[in-house]
Structure 1
Amino acid sequence: MRVLENHRLEGVQFLPSPNCDERSAAADVTLVVIHCISLPRGEFGSKVPSALFTNSIDFYRYEELKDLDGLRVSAHVLVERNGEVTQFVPFDKRAWHAGVSTWQGRTNCNDFSIGIELEGTDDSEYEDIQYDVLTAILTALFARYSAISFGNVVGHAEIAAGRKTDPGPLFDWRRLFSKLAKNVPSHKSSNSS
């Protein structure tokens, strides 16, 4: 897997989200934020997260999600339970995934981050294939964006403490970083925490 010149992942479905805008010319991509999502909560394979990111949820079918009507959010990429990847926003654009957020003294993390959603919940284990695919995506991002390294891959909970908890306590950070260490140059892991 690699990031193409158009800032999209090679060989993955691209479903454009209107919920994005231009990054500041001065803002380099320096951070990757890992999220989790399932809609309705705890249901996997529904394709509703994709509908959320493209403003196309069928609220007649999913009445329990009515409170999401009018919500405008997106992620750059979604990794489903089966490993299927959909990209919604090119990496050079600002996806609306982080909300009110701070990282290393910088606010508005959307300005300088890439958001990756894993289909899951805060209290469910992730699938082996999701770790494999996430490793491949991160390896491609490390190769394309020089400012991103191990220490710049965080959970949503780290940038929105007290407000968000994803990807949750069952996300295996050690496993992810161990897999990454086998795939990326050593200088990218020097900032690992």
Structure 2
Amino acid sequence: MEIIDHWLSEARRLPSPNHDARPDPADIALVVIHCISLPPDEFGGPWIDRLFTNQLDPAAHPYFAGIAHLRVSAHLLIRRDGETVQYVPFNLRAWHAGVSSYRGRTVCNDFSIGIELEGTDHGPYTEAQYARLNAVLALLYDTYPTLAPERVAGHSDIAPARKTDPGRRFEWSRLRPTA
């Protein structure tokens, strides 16, 4: 696995329209860990891909009516089996953090990479997800010198009044990036 032109070579590419240019393309200084399941507490299916590509049918599930209008994305999604989907190249700004702050800097989308784990705030993550996340983090650290292990935060860390993900069951001690 490698990063070529800001795309992860072993990820399925599914470009999202929900991105734009970073104010400073060289300023990639944070990785934000999120979690997502659509519908809530359900795994698999096309729904996350459809949300991030503005194709979510609001009539497909009652929950979707309240979110189908959102224009959001992440750089990567790591599914339960470790499959990785990339929606936005790392040098561009994905729309994942919302109103946020990290170490005194606001608008975290400007300088962060957003990684979604298919999961819930209250459930455990899989071995495959931790393995893939560690491999991806190692590549990110090698490719973007402004990133380092101490610059990884949960969505709950950068938006504590709004967000709880990746949740209490995420095992931060398992982050041991290896190439």
Q: TM-score, normalised by structure 1?
A: 0.90
In the alignment, the residues of structure 1 paired with residue 169 and residue 12 of structure 2 have an alpha-carbon distance, to the nearest angstrom, of 28
**Counterpart for residue 164 of structure 2:** 165
Q: TM-score, normalised by structure 2?
A: 0.96
Cα displacement (A) at 1:26: 6.1
Deviations 1:130-172 (A, max 9, x none): 0000001101100100010011011000000121010000000
Structure 1 or 2, whichever has the larger Rg, is 1
* Corresponding pairs, count: 179
CA contact (8 A) 2:12 2:86 kept: yes
In the alignment, the residues of structure 1 paired with residue 134 and residue 46 of structure 2 have an alpha-carbon distance, to the nearest angstrom, of 22
RMSD of aligned residue pairs (Cα, Å) = 1.1
Alignment of 1:109-148 (within 5 A): 109-148=108-147
**Counterpart for residue 151 of structure 1:** 150
Unaligned runs of 5+ in 2: none
In the alignment, the residues of structure 1 paired with residue 118 and residue 68 of structure 2 have an alpha-carbon distance, to the nearest angstrom, of 20
Structure 1 runs, 4 residues or longer, greater than 3 Å off = none
**Counterpart for residue 10 of structure 1:** 9
CA contact (8 A) 1:29 1:112 kept: yes
Letter in 1 for 2:94: A
Cα displacement (A) at 1:60: 2.4
Unaligned runs of 5+ in 1: 185-193
Corresponding position: 1:95 with 2:94: yes
**Counterpart for residue 190 of structure 1:** none
CA contact (8 A) 1:7 1:90 kept: yes
Identity, % of aligned positions = 51
